[in-house]
Structure 1
C-alpha cells in the first residue's frame, strides 16, 4: 500500500496539477491580481465609510452617499477608480470646511431657524410676477426672531436697501460674503467685527417682501452661489 501510494504521487506531479487546475497560467495570475485589487478597493471604501459615519455633518453624509454609489453599481475597475479619485477631494474639502484652515472661515451655520420657502435659481418674483434669478434663499420666520451671522467676519454694509429693506452684508475670509435681507431691526453697524452665531438683527418684512422671512445670500469671489450647498442645515446659531 505504501509503495502504491508513492508511485501515484510520482505519477501525479507538478505538471499534472498545473494541467488539471490551471495554476500558474498567465491568465490566472492576472485574475488573481485583479481580485486582489478589487479586495483592496473594497477594504479602503469600507474604512472611509466607517470614518464618515462617525462625522455628523451633512457634507460627510453627502460624501458617504457618493462612495456608496461606487460599490452598489455594476463593478467596472476603471470607472470605480475614477469615482474614488473624484470623491477623495470632496471628503478633503468637506473636512476643511467643517474644521476650518488658515484660509477657510470654517463651518457656515444657519442664520435663522425656519423653513426654506424659496430656493436658489430661477423663479417667479413674488412681487413683480416675472421670472428672474433668485440669488439666495428665503427662510420663513416670525418678525423679531434673532438672525445670526453664519460665519465670523466684518460688517461692510448695514442699512436700508431698495429691494431687501434693512440689510446686513458681512465680509468673511476665503472670498466669501453673506447678505441678510428684509430685517426688522439691525443690531450691528458698518466696520464692526462679528463672530459666528452673533445676533446681527431680527427677522422682518421690510423692502419688497410679501411676508416675514429672511432673505439670505452667499457670494464667493464676487459671484452668488447656492447657500444650501454652503450651509450645514442641521446647525443653528445659538
Structure 2
C-alpha cells in the first residue's frame, strides 16, 4: 500500500530554494525595468531571456549571463541622442598624443586637469564636427587659441581648440561632418594639433568613451609634449 508523504516544510525552505526565489525576484525586477529602455541591445537580450525561460531546461545562470550582456554592451553606447548605437567619428584623423585627465602641463610646467584629448595632425588639415548642433561660441583664448564650441540637442557641448582657421560663426546650425576650421597651433601649443573636449552637465568627460578611435590612432606617446 502506498501512502502520500507530504513534503517537508524544512526541505522546501532550504537555503538553496530561498536563494532561487530571491534570484527570481531580482530577475523579474530587472526585466520590468529593461522593458522601458528602447535600445536594440536591450530588446535583443529580452528576446534571449524569453527563449531561455520558455525552455523547460533553463538554468538561472543562463538568465543572469543574458542580463550581463546589457551592462557590457552599454559601455560602447554613447549617451548622445543622435546615433545611439554608434561611436562618434573623429573630428580629425591623427594620433592621440595627450589623454584626458590630470597631467603635467608641458609649457606652464605645472600639474593641472586636461579636459580633453590632443590629436596630432599637420597644420591646415580640415576639422569636422562630430555631431549635429549649433555653434555656441567662436573666439580666441590665451591658452586654447582659436576655438569653436558647438552645443548639441541634449545640451552637450563639444570644443575644438588651437585652430588655425575658423569657417563658422556663432548661432550657425551645422551637421555632423561639417568642416568648421583647420588644425593649427594657436594659443599655448608647441606643435600643430587639435584639442578636443566633450562637456555634459557642466562637467568634462573623456572623449575616448564616445569617439571611434581606431587602434592605430589611439596611442600612448610617453614623453611626447603636446597640448
TM-score in terms of structure 1 length: 0.62
CA contact 1:135–1:217 (8 Å) conserved in 2: yes
Tell me by how many angstroms 1:100 deviates: 5.6
- CA offset digits 1:70-124 (Å, max 9, x no partner): xxxxxxxxxxxxxxxxxxxx68x947646569xxxx9643212222221222111
Does residue 145 of the first structure (1) align with residue 125 of the second (2)? yes
TM-score in terms of structure 2 length: 0.64
Taking structure 1 as reference, are residues 182 and 193 closer, same or farther at Cα in structure 2, changes over 3 Å only? same
Alpha-carbon distance between aligned partners in 1 of 2:78 and 2:165, rounded to the nearest angstrom: 35
Does residue 166 of the first structure (1) align with residue 121 of the second (2)? no
Taking structure 1 as reference, are residues 25 and 143 closer, same or farther at Cα in structure 2, changes over 3 Å only? farther
- Where does structure 1 lack aligned partners over 5 or more consecutive residues? 1-9, 19-23, 53-59, 66-89
Identify the residue that residue 134 of structure 1 maps to in structure 2: 114
CA contact 1:169–1:177 (8 Å) conserved in 2: yes
Aligned-partner SS, 2:89: strand
Identify the residue that residue 182 of structure 2 maps to in structure 1: 202
Aligned-partner SS, 1:45: helix
Alpha-carbon distance between aligned partners in 2 of 1:231 and 1:169, rounded to the nearest angstrom: 17
Alpha-carbon distance between aligned partners in 1 of 2:154 and 2:79, rounded to the nearest angstrom: 12
- Where does structure 2 lack aligned partners over 5 or more consecutive residues? 25-57, 218-227
Alpha-carbon distance between aligned partners in 1 of 2:79 and 2:196, rounded to the nearest angstrom: 23
Tell me by how many angstroms 1:145 deviates: 2.4
Identify the residue that residue 12 of structure 2 maps to in structure 1: 29
CA contact 1:107–1:151 (8 Å) conserved in 2: no
Taking structure 1 as reference, are residues 97 and 190 closer, same or farther at Cα in structure 2, changes over 3 Å only? closer
Number of aligned residue pairs? 178
Identify the residue that residue 185 of structure 1 maps to in structure 2: 165
Q: Which has the larger radius of gyration?
A: 1
Identify the residue that residue 72 of structure 1 maps to in structure 2: none
CA contact 1:179–1:217 (8 Å) conserved in 2: yes
Alpha-carbon distance between aligned partners in 1 of 2:106 and 2:149, rounded to the nearest angstrom: 23
Does residue 218 of the first structure (1) align with residue 198 of the second (2)? yes
- Structure 1 or 2: more helix by fraction: 1
Identify the residue that residue 57 of structure 1 maps to in structure 2: none
- CA offset digits 1:106-150 (Å, max 9, x no partner): 964321222222122211111111111112111122222221112
Q: 1:47 aligns with which of 55, 66, 69?
A: 66
Aligned-partner SS, 1:206: coil
CA contact 2:157–2:198 (8 Å) conserved in 1: yes
Taking structure 1 as reference, are residues 28 and 223 closer, same or farther at Cα in structure 2, changes over 3 Å only? same
Aligned-partner SS, 1:182: strand
Taking structure 1 as reference, are residues 28 and 203 closer, same or farther at Cα in structure 2, changes over 3 Å only? farther
Does residue 110 of the first structure (1) align with residue 90 of the second (2)? yes
